[in-house]
Amino acid sequence: MAATEQPKITLHWLDRSRSQRILWLLDELKLPYELEIYHRNKETRLAPPELEKVHPLGKSPVVTITAPGEDEPVVLAESGFITQYLVDNTPEGSKLMPQRWKDGMEGKLGGETEAWMRYQYYLHFAEGTFMPTMVLALFIGALRSGKVPFFIRPITSIVANRIFASFIFPNTRRNLVLMEKHLSTSGGAYLCGDSLSAADILMSFPLIAAKDSLDSFGSFEGGSWRNEFPRVAEYVTKLEAEEGYKASVAKITEIDGEFEAV
C-alpha cells in the first residue's frame, strides 16, 4: 500500500531572527518542511520582489502549504496566525496547547480553562502588545545612543529620553508585571502551566531579544529588571535552555553562519 501523500510545507525566510520561532514550532510539531531563503536589497533594505509574489507585504516569516492534488498553496503570514493554524491542524499540536474545556463545560460559553484562555491571550499579546513596544525601543534607542549626526544629537537624545520615560519604560514594566503575575499563578514554569506551549515559543523571541537591553529602558526596583521580575528572568533562561530553541538557533547558524535574537 502506498504511503499517504503529505502536503508540501515551505517556510519563506527573510528575517532569520523572527523566523527562528517558526523553525522551532515546525520541529516541535514534527512537520517536514523546506526552506526558501530570500535576501534584502542592500541599499533599500526592502524584501525582494520574489517574496512579494508569495505575500504582498513582502515580510517574513511566511509559510505556504500545498495540499496533495492542489495547485495553489494556503499562504500563512503573521507569526501568531501561523502558530495558531499549525497547532490547531496538526496531530502533534495538542501537545503544545492546554486542555480547552473544564469538565462538564464542553462547548459552553465561558467553559474554557484558565490555562487555555491564557494560551489564546499570549498568542495575540506577543505580536500585538509586547513586540510593538520592543520595536519602538529599538528605533528610539538608536537616537539615544548617538547613531545620528553629531549636530542634532543633543536634541534627539532629549526627545528619545522623554519617549522612554513617558511611554516605553512604563509600558514595558506593565507588561513584565503581567507576565510575573501569570508565571506565579500558572501552576508550572511556563506561562500557561507546567509544559511548553506554542504561546511560550511565540513569546521567546521578544523576551530573549530584549533581555540584555531592558535595564536601559528605565530604573527597575533592585537595580535591574531581573531583580524586580525574578520569575520572568527565570522563564527567559528556561526558554533559552529548551532543546527546541537551541536546535533552531543551531540550524540558523548552520545556514547563515551566525544568529542574533534582534
pLDDT tens-place string over residues 137-159:
998 988 776 655 554 456 677 88
Element spanning 134, H or E? helix 131-144
- Domains, the chain, ordered by start: 8-96 (3.40.30.10), 114-243 (1.20.1050.10)
pLDDT > 50? residue 45: yes
Report yes or no: 20 and 46 within 8 Å, Cβ to Cβ: no
SS3 243: helix
- The Cβ of residue 1 has, within 10 Å, a number of other Cβ atoms equal to 3
Name the band, by pLDDT with cuts 50, 70 and 90, for residue 15.
Answer: confident
Annotate 158-178 with three-state secondary structure: HHHHHHHHHHHHHHHHHHHHH
pLDDT tens column, 183-241:
999 999 999 999 999 999 999 999 999 999 999 999 999 999 999 999 999 999 999 99
What pLDDT does 151 receive? 47
What is the signed CA dihedral for 90, 80, 59, 56, rounded to 10 degrees?
80
pTM as predicted? 0.92
Average per-residue pLDDT in the chain? 91
Report yes or no: 109 and 231 within 8 Å, Cβ to Cβ: no
Report yes or no: 119 and 72 within 8 Å, Cβ to Cβ: no
Report yes or no: 80 and 126 within 8 Å, Cβ to Cβ: yes
> What does the pLDDT average to over 35-50?
88
What pLDDT does 80 receive? 96
